[in-house]
Homo-oligomer: A and B are copies of this chain.
């Protein structure tokens, strides 16, 4: 009854665990989250049971696989906030975020909670959102960011960015880069401002 779970995996198990994560990251990046658990297992060269033993649910696998990217997100936001020129910081955030997401189809899915259930990523996500919110306020104050910009417009932009497809990952990133440039142009305040249609609840 007083069994203690060993919190250290056996060497081979640890090895498998990491190969699984690598495979998951690779597959999720190129194909989004529409990858079967078995496919991940096959790619990692392990049996299905092994995969399920380490990650009982796909949720768990996804969460683990993308913590790194999640921290990158925080870093991007912090970096933008640190820029003395808020508008430059803001546009930098957009460009880098688009690129990050273009390289990681699955990450976007997860970030957008294509997994609708509460993601463990939520906390970090909130932090990032807060940081960007502050950055946006500053960018508005300098007059470069249009006044009617809403934070959810970034979500809109990310969803849109997710839709971009191309024959190769490299092409996708290139296309996304151009898209980001367009979006930055759209977010910039301008004399020819026609009023913007309202933004509905997105989630």
Interface residues of A (CB under 8 A from B): 112, 153, 156, 159-167, 170-171, 174-175, 177-179, 181-183, 185-188, 190, 192, 194, 196-203
Contacts and interface: CB of A to CB of B under 8 A. Distances in A.
A153 B183 CA distance: 12
B197 A166 contact: no
A175 B163 contact: no
> In the complex, which of the residues A163, A170, A181, A187 has the most CB atoms of chain B within 10 Å of its own CB atom?
A163
Contacts of A161: 160, 163
A162 B179 CA distance: 14
Contacts of A192: 188
As for how many copies of this chain the complex holds, the number is 2
Given A186-B185, A188-B192, A164 B156 contact: yes
A164 B159 contact: yes
Contacts of A170: 200
Nearest to A202: B166
A180 to B, nearest CB: 8
B175 A194 contact: no
A200 B197 CA distance: 31
Contacts of A163: 159-164
Nearest to A163: B163
A128 to B, nearest CB: 20
A26 to B, nearest CB: 22
14 contacts: A153-B178, A153-B182, A156-B178, A156-B179, A159-B165, A160-B179, A161-B163, A167-B201, A167-B202, A171-B201, A171-B202, A174-B199, A186-B186, A190-B190
